[in-house]
A and B are shown apart, each in its own frame.
Chain A
Amino acid sequence: MPRVTYIQADGQSQEVNLEAGSSLMQGAVDNMIDGIVAECGGSCSCATCHCYIDADWIDRVEPAEEMETDLLDCVSEPKDNSRLSCQVKVSDDLDGLVVHLPTTQF
């Protein structure tokens, strides 16, 4: 089970175990981590599951597809390491992954 750390905008962090194959969004929802809203339940429609992949990990995460990058252009504080957490699947290779959450999803 890959272990993932979610760090809130205010610095609070939570470390949780995720099922391999599940998404960073589902991991946050399952563990009641604030800051991920996920209105559409992971169908890449709402962009309310925005997160930043820690700089040390960004190269190890599969790149985003076009629909996702288009949505990411419109989130409130986009950065180079922005991702929609519902589109990032965790695997054992990502054990130790660190994810930062934005101040707002709207």
Chain B
Amino acid sequence: MAAKSRCIILGASHAAAQLAPTLRQQGWTGSISMISNEYALPYHRPPLSKDYLAGTKTAEQILIRPAAVYSKCNVGITMGVTAAAIDRSNKQLLLDDGMALDYDKLVLTTGARVRKIDIPGVDLNGVFYLRDLNDAQQIKMFTGANKRAVIIGGGYIGLETASALRKLGMQVTVLEAMPRILQRVTAPEVAAFYSRIHAEEGVEIVADVQAVSISGAKQVESVQCHDGTEYEADIVIIGVGVIPNTELAEQAGLKIDNGIVVDEYARTSDEDILAAGDCTSHYNPIYQRHLRLESVQNALDQASVAANTICGNLKPYSALPWFWSDQYDLKLQIAGLSQGYTDVVVRGDIDGSRSFAAFYMREGKLLAVDAVNRPQEFMFGKKLIMQGNQLDTAQLADDSLSLKTLLTS
């Protein structure tokens, strides 16, 4: 590797914060530049709907690494510029300010952007989406005890936001278009659990209802639904999913299929362009299908793989996906992916307590675990999924039996 080699990382992302130092650790001696359209060093996004929103962590406390680390690793960071195109034949990244940057290796860590909804009134003052620090800062200006918040979308981010706003003493309503919250990601039992907890905490959850318009004179005042109901609001937060940022890659002719397609070494269809994180679609050997994940674990692990690939150490990516969500005093840890499950086995009192584990099964094997305030079920559940053995559902449900005993050594 020639010392003059240039590596450009597009997006000052979770993945980038992992990638740049790993490149140095793996011996990359060329230049490293990070380009971002945001105005902050890479930061942890999860607290945006949790500790940061609730005011228990500051913007500085959520930085992934302090500025000193990037200077120590000799990483150049350019903020506030957007990449407009990739010129593959000349190996240049073109920026919207007219600059053209030469690269030898380009890593796309462009993440995802929020899915927008197109209803009257979404542009009113006080209506927000939540993806980046800027969004969270703006939302915070509209929060305050006894103010009314309407959250459109009952996914993890919407529910975490509800929890954080309750902590601030706000009145919170969550509107969900599907028949239940968390429809895409959990079993009905788990969704019912979260509905119960939110009700106990004083959040109103309304399912099976579509927001059709938002109104207000200058500022948002209320949200109207398809069934004629109306909810007053001082602030509206919309959380209805994300879309991967694949356009640059697509225009450059890279292979796209629900994300920028990468191989197990994080390489796109151009050998000098790699990609990691929310923007990618990769083949997962554990679940034997292509996945596009939206998680910190995936961004970090794939970034490490990409750094190794660039430095000539081919290490295939084959991690078990995992995710977490904090709401109130509940710590949910999710191991694996539940899609395709046929049965759910519950351990613990899911109807009355605040601690349980739900095991998602297919053909007697464990696919995924949702563990609420059950770190052991999460940790051993991960290992059980990886082992892939047939499991006895009565034993899984038996709270007096440690999951550890089900592992084969």
Chain A residues in the interface with B (C-beta under 8 A): 29-32, 34, 37, 39-41, 43-47, 67, 70-71, 73-75
- Extra inter-chain contacts (15) besides given A43-B324, A47-B375, A74-B379, CB under 8 Å: A29-B65, A30-B69, A32-B69, A34-B25, A37-B300, A39-B297, A39-B300, A41-B46, A41-B296, A45-B324, A46-B322, A46-B324, A67-B373, A70-B375, A73-B376
CB closest chain-B residue, reference A19: B66
A-B contact pairs, 21 of them (CB 8 A): A32-B21, A32-B69, A32-B72, A37-B300, A39-B296, A39-B297, A39-B322, A41-B47, A41-B296, A43-B326, A44-B331, A45-B324, A46-B324, A67-B375, A70-B374, A70-B376, A71-B375, A74-B376, A74-B379, A74-B380, A74-B404
C-alpha gap A30/B375 in the complex (Å): 27
C-alpha gap A75/B404 in the complex (Å): 12
Contact with A along B54-83 (1 / 0, CB 8 A): 000000000011101100110000000000
CB closest chain-A residue, reference B333: A45
| Chain A residues with CB below 8 A from B166, complex form | none
| Chain B residues with CB below 8 A from A44, complex form | 331
Q: Is B44 an interface residue (CB 8 A)?
A: yes
| Chain A residues with CB below 8 A from B25, complex form | 32, 34
A40-B380 in contact given A45-B331, A45-B333, A71-B375 (Cβ < 8 Å): no
A64 to chain B, nearest CB (A): 12
C-alpha gap A59/B300 in the complex (Å): 34
Contacts across chains A and B counted by CB atoms under 8 Å: 57
User: Pick the contact of A40 from B24, B68, B324 — CB < 8 Å?
Assistant: B324
User: Pick the contact of B296 from A31, A40, A71, A75 — CB < 8 Å?
Assistant: A40
| Chain B residues with CB below 8 A from A45, complex form | 324, 326, 331, 333
B357 to chain A, nearest CB (A): 12
| Chain A residues with CB below 8 A from B297, complex form | 39, 46
| Chain B residues with CB below 8 A from A43, complex form | 46, 50, 324, 326
Does B375 contact A74, Cβ atoms closer than 8 Å?
yes
| Chain B residues with CB below 8 A from A40, complex form | 46, 296, 324
Does B324 contact A41, Cβ atoms closer than 8 Å?
no
Does A71 contact B379, Cβ atoms closer than 8 Å?
yes
C-alpha gap A67/B73 in the complex (Å): 35
Contact with A along B364-400 (1 / 0, CB 8 A): 0000000001111001100000000000000000000
| Chain A residues with CB below 8 A from B300, complex form | 37, 39
CB closest chain-B residue, reference A70: B375
| Chain A residues with CB below 8 A from B331, complex form | 44-45, 67
| Chain A residues with CB below 8 A from B47, complex form | 41
CB closest chain-B residue, reference A75: B379
Does B65 contact A30, Cβ atoms closer than 8 Å?
yes
A25 to chain B, nearest CB (A): 12
B300 to chain A, nearest CB (A): 6
| Chain B residues with CB below 8 A from A34, complex form | 25
Task: Determine which residue in A39, A67, A71 has the highest number of CB atoms from chain B within 10 A of its CB, and name it.
Answer: A39
| Chain B residues with CB below 8 A from A46, complex form | 297, 322, 324
9 interchain residue pairs of minimum CB distance: A74-B379, A45-B324, A70-B375, A71-B375, A41-B44, A32-B21, A70-B376, A39-B297, A30-B66
CB closest chain-A residue, reference B379: A74
